[in-house]
Structure 1
Amino acid sequence: MNPATRERMSLDGHWQFWPDLHSKLAPRGLLGGTADEDTSPTEAELTSALGSPRAIAVPGAWQAQFEDLRSWAGRAYYERTFKVLGAWAGRRVRLCFGAVDYHCAVWLNGALLGRHEGGYLPFELDASDAIRHGAPNSVIVEVIDAGPGDNDPFSFDEIPHGKQSWYGPVGGLWQGVKLEASSPIFVHKALIHADPQACIAAVRARLGAPAAGGEQLVYRITSPGGHSVSSVHGAPLDAGATHEEIAIPLASPELWDPASPNLYSLAVSLLHEGRAADEWSDGFGFRSIAADDGALLLNGRPLYVLGALDQDYYHPTGYTPPSDDLLRTQVLRAKELGLNLLRCHIKVPDPRYLYWADRLGILVWAELPNWNTLTEDSKRRGRDTLAGLIERDFNHPSVVIWTIINESWGIDLAGDSSQRRWLAETFDWAKPLDPTRLFVDNSACPPSFHLKSDLNDFHFYKAIPDHAAEWVVLTKDFAAHPGRFYSPHGDAERTGRETQLVSEFGNWGLPDINNLLDNDGRDPWWFATGGERAGGIVEPRGVKERFTDWGLDAVFGSWRELVRHSQEHQFEAMRFEIEDMRRHPEITGYVITEFTDVNWECNGLLDMARNPKSYHHRLNQVNAPDVVFAVPGRRRYSTGDAVGLDVF
């Protein structure tokens, strides 16, 4: 075996699972626990107290897999047995988790490997001393998931959770798990700032363990076409060194953008006594993004944002994408719709989401999941989560914008000056962490506002045609008076150079529920959601019965005809709103709500299973970088009338 070759073993698949529905067991793995509380629960103990284990798929939240756990949050236990080869002996073995919601403790063969708090970030634990080579190993994970209303041991209101307060809690191992074997000293990660103006890839490489002394890092860059374009040796590392920074020049680099998603590759090799001991690699792209004098510039050229808000929920798996193929397909469908950006809304996407965005070419606007109440704990967790996300996703050229807060959720901007100060300070704190991207302080809607932001974005929702006149007034005011959308309390720090975007608007278009039934013709589990909204009329369950009970069959003739008319109305409403925004050159783009339906929300451009709607191949006629359209002076004319048109 080449000593530089890392070996990986996926632990995805079926695990044993015990939900502690009635809190029969005391938590063993809380942060700050005593020695007794650190003791691993055994499979026999779990079965004795909680009954026979269920089989659960990892990755995947338990709420999406068990009928009786749809809205349950609490404490649960996972167990999996596996073997590793004896050839791994003497290597550093790490147990790596993509994301676990919300708090977990991990034991291997009875030894506590560590704990982790936070539902969105990857983490890894050193398993080298606990693992058995050539013999069975047992890993047990205790998960504590907080749901709406929970306060002990974690307050749901004070942890980043995003739309879990809308669509239900998400708990457990919702991203993948793997083992990785490497040399004892290894390359943990490298952050790559690819500057297209300077023609330099600035690299900060970090080791997973301090250098012994004398090791050397070698950096090799491969072009988008697969050709080696640079090979640079770093200086010998001092004993105890944990990182190295180096600038690698590249002549005339190929740029990354949605039309030409040119990806380079960086491989970082660790040499020990002149021989390769480890290698790490990742893709990256030369791409710049800037807001300047009201324009949004991608690689120095004006960009008109043609975006859609993506809740990033999946049918029927909820938080977890069901397959790589679906992630690839949804990017292709987004591009068919004319979109150049997806706003992944207050949820952290699976890394595979960004993998396909990088390779197929679509911009991503990423966001920090919100909490409900701003306290010292939620401040700490929010910043820790954002810093971790920036590090995780730093090398993805598709990610161009970060949002800190959405619509003042979790913060009282209108009523508390200290919370406004915290947001402005957080903006200033975050900017140096990622100089390659733009930041939004608060993606605003009435009555909230901006304080300090690279983008002046705002959300407008009006039903069309009922409130078309109000829509026209809103967009005209937004274009003409951008300062009105900043804090009225005298503490805004507006430069006047911010880009203006309408970052949420949309209309509903019903899906054909026949495309969402399972193989046995049954409703998916999420059809039972939404009963608490709008008096229950948006709940998917029972919609065909309501169609008949309300006499809509007499109007439309069939369910499919209602769906067709609903989707055509959605298209016409969007066309009106898009054409109205395009009349104002000050508005440099928009984000449609939303990319896909989610549970009871039916305003997607695709349904929740990523099936197209009726206008799929027509939307790009109005949702395009350059469009020509005419607006008549009035809506009604008689035969022989002269028709006046304004052409845009």
Structure 2
Amino acid sequence: MMHRKEYPRPQLVRKEWQNLNGTWQFNFDDQNEGTKQKWYKENTKTFDKEINVPFAYQTQLSGIADPTFHDVVWYKREFSVPENWSGQRVILHFGAVDYRAWVYINEKFVGFHEGGNTSFSFDITDHLTEGTQTIVVKVEDPSTDETIPRGKQYWIEESDGIWYTRTTGIWQTVWLEAVHSVHLSKLRFTPDVDRGEIGVEFELTEQANDVDVQFEIVFKGERIVKDIVSTHEAFNRRTFNLYNHKIFRTGFHHDGWNWTPENPNLFDVKIKVIQNNHVIDEIESYFGMRKVHSENGMIYLNNRPYYQKLVLDQGYWPEGLLTAPSDQDLIKDIELSKELGFNGCRKHQKVEDPRFLYWADQLGFLVWGECAASPSFSENAVARLTKEWIEIIERDYNHPSVVAWVPLNESWGVPNIRDNHQQQHHSLAMYHLIHSLDSTRLVVSNDGWELTKTDICAVHNYNHGNKDEIAKYEKYKEDISTVDGILSSKPARRSIYANGFNYEGEPILLTEFGGIGFKVGEDSGWGYTSVNNAEEFIADYDRIMQAVYSSKALFGYCYTQLTDVEQEINGLLTYDRKPKCELKQIKKINDMWHPGVI
């Protein structure tokens, strides 16, 4: 049986941990009677199914593969705590559970979490008993509620159009770790490329006057920093200068230590929490020195103009839906994207597994982080999306690969944003909220059109037509060729900016286009245009990219899309990641010169 075995939190690694993935008992609760009947207690309910965690019951890899609506489900399994964990606190972690979760240990309620995209944890120490332990999880995922952040998960049973099969329940790793009562609970790295400094914020679970925190920072095998911080409060800040080290003062070119897709340099960090000369907590982490800003209509990476060539990546797999079958599958998607000539991706309508971001950091791959949207607007939808974004940034802040955040897409969840002040305020609130939590990245207010305040003018336009629609193609070239042409265009009959908002000189990127439909094998479905064979596919890709590269206004793009997904056959790869043509031919086109080269 395949299950996810790798360490699930690569930005804060401890040695003492236990993976709880694998076979769990499982049951549907279509009448929502489990809580009243106390299914979390022994001998009150026989769970009649088994499921392979962390795969949702809708997936093949779960062992159930049932795509129908079941809004309430229950999980159960037994586990043992290693003897050498005695005297330590035991933390139970969930990578992600869609959408609401109630957790019980040995018949006792330990906590609740709402939000399907982010991780959460509970200290279960005081609920543990001698011998075998029992964990029960109740999950509620309202299939038809359009006010929860559901992204591409369809609220109708059959997938259709741009909407796909739902993911209900546990879809990322469940695991335990053992920690001292005083341990590191928060760690943020903020690089300052201009000063050559790394700012560190860290928090301990308890305030303790007799605790020191030792930092050791290593770059390419060379120790750069070894310092001890004496703590007097739970929350602490410290800044370390890196570039004063001798290896950086000997003519070492700055590209040799900054993080870029071409040179994904990372600094390794070891942190020890020391009390009375004893190490009570020890973690490993890493960071990258990376700066992103915009200037003169261009995006800069480490103070140099950087033309982004992104691919839309929805992060679905045939056997696992939102859950990659293995860590290698995450690596493969990044390697194939780079082989195609892309330097990054926009993770579309999904908060991706931290393991993907880890490999993007390691392999050198830009990521625009996006969250699942709510289809409808309501005050509840606003609150839910806001909560999830706070947790997203808390979890993913340290990844150097993430260079932009996208809180809204194509006016989903804000359908009247063009002239509705309440929905405009929601967009503005998300923009400013994210900047208040993260000053190191760009924020796109409403990717596609009807933008409010934004750091990137992100435009979606699929109006390039088929190869024989010459007039349509010429109009497309004209619309994207100049700033005025883009701003006056109305792709999907939507204005680029919402009423009351205007272009303020921000970089313009074409962040959805293409979507060439190409049927391979027995697949069937749709695309925005269509071709019949690999030769036509390459020619049509070249035709569309010629229009993009001839633009004097664009400073980057995001092509739709990396893979086919369910009924969509508009990927560069099939759903099972088979190339539809020679990858080097696409790379050759993506490598063409363009006006964004400085």
TM-score (normalised: structure 1) = 0.81
Q: Which amino acid aligns with 2:367?
A: V
In structure 2, what is the equivalent of residue 387 of structure 1? 390
In structure 2, what is the equivalent of residue 633 of structure 1? none
Per-residue deviation, 1:362: 0.9
In structure 2, what is the equivalent of residue 634 of structure 1? none
In structure 1, what is the equivalent of residue 210 of structure 2? 214
Q: Which amino acid aligns with 2:234?
A: T
Gaps (5+ residues) in structure 1? Answer: 29-36, 149-155, 515-526, 528-536, 541-562, 629-648
Q: Which amino acid aligns with 1:416?
A: N
Per-residue deviation, 1:298: 1.1
Distance across 1 between alignment mates of 2:134 and 2:321: 28
Out of 504, 509, 517, the residue aligned to residue 501 of structure 1 is 509
For the structure 1 residues 40 and 53, does the alpha-carbon distance in structure 2 shift closer, same or farther, using more than 3 Å as the test?
A: closer
Per-residue deviation, 1:26: 4.6
Secondary structure of the equivalent of 1:167?
Answer: coil
Distance across 2 between alignment mates of 1:24 and 1:298: 51
1:612 aligns with 2:587: no
Q: Is the 8 A contact 1:501 1:590 kept in 2?
A: yes
Per-residue deviation, 1:215: 1.2
Q: Is the 8 A contact 1:187 1:268 kept in 2?
A: no
Distance across 1 between alignment mates of 2:574 and 2:14: 43
Q: Is the 8 A contact 1:336 1:620 kept in 2?
A: yes
Deviations 1:383-415 (A, max 9, x none): 111111111111111111110110000002124
In structure 2, what is the equivalent of residue 416 of structure 1? 420
Q: Is the 8 A contact 1:441 1:451 kept in 2?
A: yes
Q: Is the 8 A contact 2:14 2:283 kept in 1?
A: no
Q: Which amino acid aligns with 2:73?
A: A
Q: Write out the 4+ residue segments of structure 1 that deviate beyond 4 Å after TM superposition.
A: 485-490
In structure 2, what is the equivalent of residue 33 of structure 1? none
1:15 aligns with 2:46: no
Distance across 1 between alignment mates of 2:498 and 2:118: 36
Q: Is the 8 A contact 1:73 1:169 kept in 2?
A: no
For the structure 1 residues 416 and 186, does the alpha-carbon distance in structure 2 shift closer, same or farther, using more than 3 Å as the test?
A: same
Per-residue deviation, 1:488: 6.1
Secondary structure of the equivalent of 1:56?
Answer: strand
Secondary structure of the equivalent of 2:368?
Answer: strand
Distance across 1 between alignment mates of 2:86 and 2:515: 59
Percent of aligned positions that are identical: 30
Out of 347, 355, 368, the residue aligned to residue 344 of structure 1 is 347
Per-residue deviation, 1:68: 6.5
For the structure 1 residues 293 and 110, does the alpha-carbon distance in structure 2 shift closer, same or farther, using more than 3 Å as the test?
A: same
Q: Is the 8 A contact 2:22 2:53 kept in 1?
A: yes
Distance across 1 between alignment mates of 2:330 and 2:40: 37
Q: Which amino acid aligns with 1:19?
A: F
Out of 312, 323, 329, the residue aligned to residue 309 of structure 1 is 312
Secondary structure of the equivalent of 2:133?
Answer: strand
Deviations 1:237-288 (A, max 9, x none): 2xxx321111111014701111111111222221112321102222210011
Q: Is the 8 A contact 1:361 1:398 kept in 2?
A: yes
Secondary structure of the equivalent of 1:603?
Answer: coil
Matches within 5 A, 1:551-570: 565-570=532-537
For the structure 1 residues 346 and 574, does the alpha-carbon distance in structure 2 shift closer, same or farther, using more than 3 Å as the test?
A: same
1:188 aligns with 2:185: yes
Q: Is the 8 A contact 2:52 2:63 kept in 1?
A: no
Per-residue deviation, 1:86: 2.4
Secondary structure of the equivalent of 1:380?
Answer: helix
In structure 2, what is the equivalent of residue 645 of structure 1? none
Out of 226, 234, 245, the residue aligned to residue 242 of structure 1 is 234
Q: How many residues are paired up? A: 551
Secondary structure of the equivalent of 2:375?
Answer: coil
Q: CA RMSD in A?
A: 2.3
Matches within 5 A, 1:130-209: 130-133=127-130, 135-148=131-144, 156-165=145-154, 166-207=163-204, 209=205
TM-score (normalised: structure 2) = 0.88
The range that moved more, 57-66 or 480-489, is 480-489
In structure 2, what is the equivalent of residue 227 of structure 1? 222
Secondary structure of the equivalent of 2:444?
Answer: strand
In structure 1, what is the equivalent of residue 560 of structure 2? 593
1:103 aligns with 2:100: yes
Distance across 1 between alignment mates of 2:371 and 2:488: 25
Distance across 1 between alignment mates of 2:286 and 2:502: 36
Per-residue deviation, 1:539: 8.4
Deviations 1:476-527 (A, max 9, x none): 334231544766665215422x11111011133435346xxxxxxxxxxxx8
Q: Which amino acid aligns with 2:223?
A: S
In structure 2, what is the equivalent of residue 372 of structure 1? 375
Higher helix share: 1
Per-residue deviation, 1:431: 0.9
Out of 54, 62, 78, the residue aligned to residue 49 of structure 2 is 54
Q: Is the 8 A contact 2:187 2:201 kept in 1?
A: yes
Deviations 1:113-158 (A, max 9, x none): 111111011011011111235x11110101111212xxxxxxx211
Secondary structure of the equivalent of 2:117?
Answer: coil
Out of 63, 88, 91, the residue aligned to residue 58 of structure 2 is 63
In structure 2, what is the equivalent of residue 453 of structure 1? 454
Q: Is the 8 A contact 1:621 1:627 kept in 2?
A: no
In structure 1, what is the equivalent of residue 160 of structure 2? none
Per-residue deviation, 1:570: 2.7
Per-residue deviation, 1:107: 0.8
Distance across 1 between alignment mates of 2:111 and 2:497: 47
Per-residue deviation, 1:591: 0.9
In structure 1, what is the equivalent of residue 442 of structure 2? 438
Secondary structure of the equivalent of 1:235?
Answer: strand
Q: Is the 8 A contact 2:77 2:136 kept in 1?
A: yes
Distance across 2 between alignment mates of 1:294 and 1:616: 31
Distance across 1 between alignment mates of 2:453 and 2:531: 43
For the structure 1 residues 219 and 67, does the alpha-carbon distance in structure 2 shift closer, same or farther, using more than 3 Å as the test?
A: closer
For the structure 1 residues 250 and 68, does the alpha-carbon distance in structure 2 shift closer, same or farther, using more than 3 Å as the test?
A: closer
In structure 2, what is the equivalent of residue 530 of structure 1? none
In structure 1, what is the equivalent of residue 40 of structure 2? 41
Greater gyration radius: 1
Deviations 1:174-198 (A, max 9, x none): 0001110011111013110111111
Secondary structure of the equivalent of 2:215?
Answer: strand
Distance across 1 between alignment mates of 2:424 and 2:468: 36
In structure 1, what is the equivalent of residue 10 of structure 2? none
Distance across 2 between alignment mates of 1:143 and 1:612: 37
Per-residue deviation, 1:358: 0.8
Distance across 2 between alignment mates of 1:539 and 1:132: 55
Q: Is the 8 A contact 1:193 1:203 kept in 2?
A: yes
Deviations 1:25-64 (A, max 9, x none): 1546xxxxxxxx9x662353222xxxx5211111111111
